[in-house]
Amino acid sequence: MKKLALHWKILIGMTLGVLVGVLFSNLEGGKELIQDWIKPFGKIFINSLKLIAVPLILASLIKGVSDLKDISKLSKMGGRTIFIYILTTVMAVTIGLVLVNVIKPGNTITEKTRTELVQNYAEKTVKYKKAAESQKESGPLQALIDLVPPNIISASSNNRNMLQVIFFAVFFGIGLILIPEEKSKPVKDFFDGFNEVILKMIDLIMLAAPYGVFALLAALVVESPSVDLFKALAWYAFTVILGLLIMIALYNLMVYLFTKKTPKFFINGISPAQLLAFSTSSSAATLPVTMERVTEHLGVDEEVSSFVLPIGATINMDGTSLYQAVAAVFIAQAFGMDLSLSAQLGIIVTATLASIGSAAVPGAGMVMLIIVLQQAGIPEAGLALIFAIDRPLDMCRTTVNVTGDATVSMLVAKSVGKLGEPKVKNWDDNY
């Protein structure tokens, strides 16, 4: 018998969680039974994601930054690559924030349900309000001061200080680049191996995802058994997908404006990689196909594609960062939190930097979302609201990630005179 794919197991866990939650909501003592004997497993799953957040940032980001050593040889190409990747990521986060503030999917939840949510997580809401009041009293450069940790061990012990961990990881990676290769190699080899271990830990944690989703959804339903929660979830999914479609359109526009290649040419060339990305939810697994399509079908010189695309699979997560922005504000709206402009600007910075350290494997985006939520002071328990449909959205945002990598490779190739005619032409290409 063919083994059931993980995303189907997650969908089954989601469905069973909702059904069990509805059933026990109508039984005497059912709510208490779910809260005492099922909800804890959801908390354990959330804690396991939080457990690897700091190691994942350190491993992925140090590896990603140290891998940029080729910039010393290809400084022109490297500088443009990093600049365009960061630019498109900021664009993606900004689009996500604009859409979620305009559509307001979390506001479709009734006040009664919102009150129940706030009561269930009252302790975390109080912490958020205290942090917000403290933020108002701080000076204009406090965010800059908070960026640099006085003690990396202390910063790593608190997931709310994730920007400090990111700062240290980037700083450490730069240090590895600047020292002689024979001295940096043992350290880099260690973090390469460390990164592989963390990725395997994510695989193991994701094996428990169906059970975690079941527990989270069952608890959510018995604690707030309102249909409007699921209506809000549909609006949330619509907001994310709309943002991703806008990003696809922007990629096509950028390719047309800077390379004069039509959207039809671009989509024909990259579509097999997009489909693979959609089915695997992994930029890393799709990388060989992406490189082949970009080189053979889009006309990017191999020297450019072999440099730009592996970096992109590590640090360019436009779809993931857009989703993180939408998800963070949606959860805040669901809890009745009014995020200030400064808090949302913080989300832009955190989501951009977190996407750099986001591993190119399924489930890593959820770990990175933990970082964004905690940095903004939003209860991470709100993950229960969105995890049920995270897998299909993960498939969509990975498609955008891969499309963004291909776009940047074409732009960089054009800027350095390395974009030519494709080696393999599709019969219906029109360029």
Is 174 inside a domain boundary? yes
Percent of the chain with pLDDT over 90: 13
pLDDT of residue 173: 81
Lowest-confidence segment of 71-85, 131-145, 183-197, 211-225 by average pLDDT: 131-145
- For residues 210-229, average pLDDT: 75
pLDDT of residue 266: 92
Lowest-confidence segment of 271-285, 293-307, 359-373 by average pLDDT: 359-373
Task: Tell me, yes or no, if the pTM score tops 0.75.
Answer: no
Of 356, 306, 325, whose CA–CA distance to 163 is shortest? 356
* Owning domain of residue 380: 6-415
Please check the confidence at residue 359 and state whether its pLDDT lies above 60. no
Instruction: Give me the helix-helix angle, 263-280 and 283-297, nearest 10°.
Output: 160
Confidence of residue 118 (pLDDT cuts 50, 70, 90): low
At 121 the three-state DSSP class reads coil
Is 429 inside a domain boundary? no
CA distance 410 to 298: 8
How many secondary structure helices (H) and strands (E) does the chain include?
21, 0
Is 38 inside a domain boundary? yes
pLDDT of residue 171: 84
pLDDT of residue 227: 67
Across the chain, mean pLDDT equals 77
Is 424 inside a domain boundary? no
Is 420 inside a domain boundary? no
pLDDT of residue 122: 52
Of 349, 340, 374, 354, whose CA–CA distance to 138 is shortest? 340
Is 423 inside a domain boundary? no
Is 24 inside a domain boundary? yes
**Which residues does residue 339 pair with via DSSP β-bridges, in sequence order?**
none
Please check the confidence at residue 419 and state whether its pLDDT lies above 80. yes
Buried b (16+ CB within 10 A) or exposed e, 71-105: beebeebbebbbebbbebbbbbbbbbbebbeebeb
pLDDT of residue 265: 92
Task: State the CATH number of the domain containing residue 204.
Answer: 1.10.3860
The count of domains in the chain is 1
Q: Tell me phi and psi for residue 298, to 5 degrees.
A: -110, -5
Lowest-confidence segment of 38-42, 72-76, 260-264, 303-307 by average pLDDT: 72-76
Q: 167 and 148 in contact (C-beta within 8 Å)?
A: yes
Which one-letter DSSP state was computed for residue 387?
Answer: G
Report the first-to-last Cα separation within the chain, whole angstroms. 46
| CA dist list (Å): 298 to 85, 129, 214, 301, 424 | 19, 51, 44, 9, 9
Q: Tell me phi and psi for residue 300, to 5 degrees.
A: -80, 130
* 329-347 pLDDT tens trace: 888 888 777 777 777 777 7
Is 422 inside a domain boundary? no
